[in-house]
Amino acid sequence: MKHIVEYAIWWDYEIGHLYELEHAWVYDGHDGEVVDCEASFHGRVLKGLLKDRSNVLDGTHVRLFSQPGKHAFSPITDIFELLPDLYTNANERAGVDGLLTNELFHSLIATNDEIDGLVRRHLQSLSFVPAMEFEEYYFAPELFMPWSSLFRIIPERIEAQVQELKRQYL
């Protein structure tokens, strides 16, 4: 193995709370070919590379699917159907967690009942029933940045979203 590339993928909204940060780790061999992949899945890690390598494109890219609304990654869509809360999380449980700050950002992001209520209200307005139809998406090159840059802008993005929700709902 030559490199392990970690992708930290940020979404401004997740149907249960204000944002989501998921990860994929791609293991490259000396010839540049993908030799393995792992992906975050609700606080756990799944293998991202299928045994038959059918989700490796051009030898250099791994196709992963993102759970509708929740963004957990999987190399196959059937795993999402095994989740007992797949449909309720995207619908009646939309916004249930409010802002939700994790341990990385506790000291950088403030929340309270008002903010949680605004987030909840907004996400409930976006609730949906997953169609379980997936489209291919490629990240534009200008979206890629080092982790230090992403870590720095996350609190700014969250604050901007909170201010927008205040303008919209208060």
How many Å apart are CA 1 and CA 146, to the nearest integer? Answer: 22
pLDDT at 166: 97
Q: What residues pair up with 61 in beta bridges, in sequence order?
A: 57
Q: For residue 44, which amino acid is it? A: R
Q: Which residues contact 73 (CB under 8 A, 6 or more apart)?
A: 22, 24, 39, 40, 41, 46, 48, 64, 65, 66, 67
pLDDT at 1: 72
- CA atoms 158, 164, 165, 167: torsion sign: positive
Are the C-beta atoms of 31 and 22 separated by less than 8 Å? no
pLDDT at 8: 95
The two tokens of residue 126 are 């976006």
Task: Assign 110 to helix, strand or coil.
Answer: coil
How many Å apart are CA 12 and CA 4, to the nearest integer? Answer: 26
- CA atoms 44, 49, 52, 54: torsion sign: positive
pLDDT at 102: 83
For residue 7, which of 59, 71, 50, 70 has the smallest C-alpha distance? 71
- List the chain residues with pLDDT less than 50: none
> Cα dihedral angle (103, 107, 109, 113), rounded to 10 degrees?
90
pTM metric for this prediction:
0.92
How many Å apart are CA 166 and CA 20, to the nearest integer? Answer: 20
